Structure 1
Amino acid sequence: MKKNIILSVCFMFLLVLTGCSSKDGEKDLSMRQDLALIYEETVSPNKEYVKSEEDIVNYSIEVYQNKDYKILVNAKSNSQFFEPMQYELEYDKKITESNITVKWTTLMGNPKAKENDQLGVAYVSILENGKVLSERKISFVNKAIETITDTVNKK
């Protein structure tokens, strides 16, 4: 438990100090003619805690659907600690925003963020008639945790 708290504090310190950098080659799915954007949400874990606008980190979840009803979930961030990811779900009906929920939590699992426990995980759920069809956990901080763990283990 103590190690988790230390890692969390180290990560937050690293995130605030290093800020973020824009990534080249991010896929802009909104330009694809065969996809319709159904849902989009962006949060910032550190906006309230940084002095410079260029250090603001954003995490985004986008949900698209194509003409064959396939659902595409896209996760992206301007943080250097996150590699864009996406996954597809086979489905046979059109979805709306009401079929999608995204719950954000901190690294310690809290729904309310603090300066030393910032948002870093999104739980993306696709629902059908109130029942969960798919739920995926997307961690926006895995790469940072790996970097910190490697650094701590080297000492």
Structure 2
Amino acid sequence: MFLLGGCKTIDVKGKPDLLPYMQKPVVFLTIKSPDNLQKVWPELMGQVEIRLKEMSTLGKVTGLKERNHKLDSNPKLRSEFRTYLSTLTLTGISEKNLAWKIEEELNSPLFLLLDFVSYPCTKECPSNVQLVIRLKLIEAH
């Protein structure tokens, strides 16, 4: 998990037991781009996706293009996916019934969510915002 701030960078290196999740397929999920990053967001997410696909500990990574292609061909799934992602990012809770449907259609038991939040910065910061970026591994079931 990585946390980036406007004042400093904090690298959290917790050691959870990820062995049961190694080499399993994952779907890369992202939130909507923040207003101030709309121009660079697609390129930034593309770079993150490339890095994820290079990680030997992950199985097959369903990237943004492949995911969007599957969602575009199934409007009901796209609607359920948007509802799932909104619920997940707003509450932090994975809605299991929707997750199961998405898991089945995208052939992956795991979701990797890149969550990005912007907060007002403290007086000590050289900028006016503090950015927090989290990568969360979520079981679909």
Q: Normalising to structure 2: TM-score of the pair?
A: 0.30
Structure of greater relative contact order (alpha carbons < 8 Å, 6+ residues apart): 2
More strand by share: 1
Where is the helix percentage greater, Structure 1 or Structure 2? 2
User: Which structure: larger Rg?
Assistant: 1
The alignment's TM-score, normalised by the length of structure 1, stands at 0.28
